Homo-oligomer: A and B are copies of this chain.
Amino acid sequence: MELELSVDRSSPVPLYFQLSQQLEAAIEHGALTPGSLLGNEIELAARLGLSRPTVRQAIQSLVDKGLLVRRRGVGTQVVHSQVKRPLELSSLYDDLESAGQRPATKVIVNTVVPASAEVAAALGVAEDSDVHRIERLRLAHGEPMAYLCNFLPPALIDVDTAQLEATGLYRLMRAAGITLHSARQTIGARAATAAEAERLAEEEGAPLLTMQRVTFDDTGRAVEYGTHTYRPTRYSFEFQLLVRP
Contact = CB atoms under 8 A, between A and B. Distances in A.
Interface of A: 34-35, 53, 64, 66, 69, 77, 79-84, 86-89, 179-191, 205-209, 216, 218-222, 232-233, 235-244
A242 B187 contact: no
Nearest to A69: B218
A238 B182 contact: no
A176 to B, nearest CB: 16
Nearest to A222: B81
Given A207-B207, A208-B207, A232-B190, A184 B240 contact: yes
A137 to B, nearest CB: 19
A93 to B, nearest CB: 16
Contact of A189 (B69, B180, B232): B232
Given A188-B232, A207-B207, A207-B208, A216 B81 contact: yes
Given A86-B244, A89-B241, 17 more contacts: A35-B219, A79-B218, A81-B220, A181-B243, A183-B241, A184-B238, A185-B240, A186-B237, A187-B237, A188-B232, A188-B235, A188-B237, A189-B208, A190-B233, A191-B207, A207-B207, A207-B208
Contacts of A240: 182-185
